[in-house]
Structure 1
Amino acid sequence: MARMTAVGSLRETHHFNNKVVREGRSGPPLHIHWLQTEYFKVEKGVIGIHKNGKEIAATKDDGILEIPAGTRHRFWAHSSTTEDLVFKVWAEPQDIDHSFDENFLRNFTGYQRDCQMQGIKPSPFQLILLSYNSATMGTPPFWMPLWLLKGINYILAFWIAKALLGYRESYPEYTRPTKTTTQN
């Protein structure tokens, strides 16, 4: 479960009583944010982080964990814990277009929730387009030059998902409206 705590910050909980969490499959697949550095701050439990081929197990005593832009990583509730994992996660800078931000998370989770409610599998092409639009992309477990990985994801996102299949980068039903001022 995830909920926004402040602009750009997210508090995420991985409940230990969930089978997916206990099996170490609670986080996203291996991915890269190419414009932003991602930060984690554990509040409870143990987080596992796969960072460029190395596994880290961290607790609240480890302070803020930094994943620099361009780093292959994933995270999950580490198998050494027997309690819920609770942590804050954010990415910086936040004042850029096409970033890992609240509206990306609303679109990504909203789309998946709607698919689940309708009993259909999410389209991997829609997920790739939503991710690419936020300067995030899935990555294979083996090394690949970032320029090649971006090129492949661009083709999958914009040539196939958007142009061929008609998916969009974001949807108004999931996106938080921006505040506008009116003049009298």
Structure 2
Amino acid sequence: MARGWQHWLSPRPLRRTATSSEPRILAAHDAALFEFLKDEDGRWVVRETHYIDNKVVRDGLSGPLLHIHWLQTEYFQVEQGVIGIMKNEKEVVATKDDGIVEIPAGTRHRFWAHASGNEDLIFKVWAEPQGLDHSFDENFLRNFVGYQHDCQKENLTPSVFQLMLMSYNSSTIATPPFWMPIWILKSVHYVLAVWVGAGLLGYEASYPEYNSTDEGQSRNAKKLI
């Protein structure tokens, strides 16, 4: 439980919306819908729908900032519309005809609804290997999306320290558009996420209101460096 002075230093939603049992959740500004699914082989996947009529989507802002997953390879499979993916310095434009797009572990990347599309963007995304501790998974997405949505409802700017803590706990780090050694990025994120975000400001890496299988407490993030 965060203390009053921590709320003063870094405002946060007064109440977290309980979405842990919801099969689908909305992103901030209702720009995208996240559906949590299982493939026939038992693999978890997320189906994202980015609504073309939403200004955030039309402006290419419904996807994440440039980032790296250092433990897992990420996969995208478009079902409808056009996705833009920045993969290191190369822009990839893909539709359902392009099959599965692979983003190897350690690759700088981001994605968005590409401006050439004229309908909602719908795609599946997942990461492998699955079942790892502190990995990009459903728990991370539920917390990351749920927190930002609650901030938007209360007219708050999401804390960069909270977002970094959630990301770092899931072996994900933000990155500049140019190459930088991952160990440097991890070290910087560790300080800002664990020392500042968790230690000083009292944030957690995961909240039970967003995910009932809440295993990602901030103290566990210290094991990742």
Q: TM-score range by the shorter chain?
A: over 0.9
Distance in 2 separating the partners of 1:101 and 1:37: 12
Which digits, 9 at most, give the CA deviation of each residue in 1:59-79, with x for residues without a partner? 101100100000000000111
Q: List aligned pairs for 1:28-177, cutoff 5 A.
A: 28-177=64-213
Amino acid at match of 1:97: D
- Please tell me whether the aligned partners of residues 45 and 126 of structure 2 are also in contact (alpha carbons under 8 angstroms): yes
Number of paired residues?
Answer: 178
Question: Contact 2:88/2:177 (CA < 8 Å) preserved in 1?
Answer: no
Q: Which amino acid aligns with 2:118?
A: T
- For structure 2, the 5+ residue unaligned runs are 1-32, 215-225
Q: Which residue of 2 aligns with 1:3?
A: 35
Amino acid in the other structure paired with 1:3: E
**Could you tell me which residue of structure 2 aligns to residue 12 of structure 1?**
48
Q: Return the TM-score normalized by structure 2.
A: 0.77
The secondary structure found in structure 1 opposite 2:170 is coil
In structure 1, list runs of 5 or more residues that go unmatched. Answer: 179-184
CA-based RMSD of the aligned residues comes to: 1.1
Over the matched positions of the two proteins, sequence identity in percent amounts to: 67
Q: CA deviation at 1:176?
A: 2.6
Q: Which amino acid aligns with 1:54?
A: K
Supply the distance in 2 between the matched residues of 1:14 and 1:140 (Cα, whole angstroms): 25
- What residue is the counterpart of 2:30 in the other structure? none
Where does structure 1 differ by over 6 angstroms across 4 or more consecutive aligned residues? none
Larger CA deviation: 33-42 vs 19-28: 19-28
Q: Cα deviations across residues 103-143 of structure 1 (Å, max 9, x unaligned)?
A: 11111111112212222111110000000000011111122
Aligned amino acid, residue 5 of structure 1 = L
SS in 1 for 2:148: helix
In structure 2, which of residues 35, 38, 57 is the aligned counterpart of residue 21 of structure 1?
A: 57
Give 1:144 deviation, angstroms. 1.0
Note the alpha carbon deviations across 1:121-178, whole angstroms, 9 max, x for none.
1111000000000001111112211111111111111111011111111111111338
